[in-house]
Amino acid sequence: MKAPFQPEALHTLIGRQFVLDGERYTAIEILNEPLALVAQKNQLDPHYQYDAYGRARSQVHTSTLTIPVLAADGTSLHADFLRISSWISS
């Protein structure tokens, strides 16, 4: 079974933003087995992780989503991946 594209090309999507079901996400990782796109939901109010002294040390992103790329047949795109309505230029 051959994918309709080169899976390596998906790595160019990392860092790009897209819209899915009216929400904005950023692609953060590509998983190889099974082929999937991991995305982080963009939030206007980020959560912060604090150190022992109460200082903000890092942002904590609590909402991630894994979107399968290929359907069960291994040749067509998964319905969830096709629900991405638009890619936003970086």
How many domains is the chain partitioned into structurally?
A: 1
What pLDDT is stored for residue 1 in this prediction?
47
Three-state SS for 20-81 is ECCEEEEEEEEECCCCEEEEEECCCCCEEEECCCCCEEEEECCCEEEEECECCCCCCECHHH
Contact present, 80 and 59 (Cβ < 8 Å)? no
Q: Within a domain: residue 1?
A: no
What pLDDT is stored for residue 18 in this prediction?
95
Q: In which domain, by residue range, is 14 found?
A: 7-88
Polymer length of the chain: 90
What pLDDT is stored for residue 83 in this prediction?
95
Structure tokens at 11: 């790595």
Structure tokens at 57: 């040390």
Q: Within a domain: residue 64?
A: yes
The pLDDT tens digits along the chain (90 residues) read: 455 567 788 999 999 999 999 999 999 999 998 999 999 988 766 667 778 888 877 766 568 999 999 999 988 999 999 999 999 875
What pLDDT is stored for residue 65 in this prediction?
93
